[in-house]
Structure 1
Amino acid sequence: MNAFAALADDTRMEIVRLVAKNGELTSTEIGQNFKISAPAISHHLKILKESKVLYMKKDAQRRVYSLNGAQVSEMEEWLASIIDLWHKRLDKLDKYVMKIKKERSSGKK
């Protein structure tokens, strides 16, 4: 599953937000923030780990999760490229609208 698909779920988005805010959290600490079962949290964490949005390291019996900055940066770059494409399209539309307005105002004189 790709990172965007993983983040399409509200619970997973909130998990990522929590981990980003706190730096590192154990699966237990993450689970304490939700009213869903531990197996459900584990399933969400597995998806986030497989999609490389979160890192997981084992510390004795604990699983500690942190944000994968490289994956987030890759997502950010993709979003920035889409935003740039839309800005270019909107700039072209703006120029076209201004041209039409100018033509209309010239024709009325």
Structure 2
Amino acid sequence: MLSEQRRFLLDYVVREFEDYLGPVSNSWLRNPVKRAILRQFLCGGEYNIADMAVYSWYGQLVLTGLYESKEFLQVDSYAHLLRGASEVHNRPAVKRGRKINRASKSGLMERHTASDFDHLESR
């Protein structure tokens, strides 16, 4: 009896989902790669908080091959992902941000004012 109730519940949930969200979800899920290729950034044509939030980990994995991820994930086969990561990576604010807390000559150990970057450029 319990299995019949589960089957009924599962059938009900699936049916309701298909009736309510079926047309939307099917068109949305059909071509995720195609949608990604058409977008400049993660959530559309403008740089936004989603790109900022995920760049710190996916940018390092995709562009620098951190933890030998380029080979394991076969990153080179995802041209749209490389393009998007490169666009974020090459933004002026991201370039400045990557220099903070770096001990190298091209980095800043601490940043207190915007003029700290001016001193960095003159080195």
Fold in common (TM above 0.5): no
Higher relative contact order (CA 8 A, sep 6+): 1
| TM-score where L is the length of structure 2 | 0.29
| TM-score where L is the length of structure 1 | 0.31
